[in-house]
């Protein structure tokens, strides 16, 4: 298990603003479809929760616009899957 974590690295994928969650869902579905779950462990879309007091509502917005963060093994299959479809 330790060796597996040593091989994992963080990668950043640039995206179109406002499409970060859609891209995350797409990558998750493609990884599942191609049985590459062992290579990709985590996908993050950095967000923050903002409370607007005057309107009394909660808003979730992206902290780093245009970014989707992946924790995966540096494997050519994952790289090709992400680069060819985004």
Q: What is the pLDDT of residues 11-25, one digit of tens each?
A: 888 888 778 888 889
Task: Return d(Cα 69, Cα 72) in angstroms, integer.
Answer: 10
Q: What is the CATH number of domain 2-85?
A: 3.30.70.940
Angle between helix 20-33 and helix 76-85 axes, rounded to 10 deg: 130
With contact defined as beta carbons under 8 Å apart, do 27 and 43 qualify?
Answer: yes
* Burial of 60 from C-beta contacts in 10 A (0-12 / 13-18 / 19+): exposed
The structural domains of the chain, with segments of one domain joined by +, span 2-85
Q: What is the pLDDT of residues 22-40, one digit of tens each?
A: 888 988 998 899 898 888 8
Is pLDDT of 73 > 80?
yes
């Amino acid at each position: 298990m330790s060796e597996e974590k040593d091989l994992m690295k963080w990668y950043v994928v640039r995206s179109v603003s406002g499409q970060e969650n859609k891209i995350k869902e797409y990558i998750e579905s493609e990884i599942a479809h191609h049985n590459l779950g062992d290579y990709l462990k985590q996908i993050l879309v950095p967000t923050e929760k903002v409370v607007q007091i005057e309107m009394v509502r909660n808003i979730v917005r992206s902290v780093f616009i245009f970014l989707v963060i992946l924790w995966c093994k540096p494997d050519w299959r994952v790289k090709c899957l992400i680069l060819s479809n985004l």
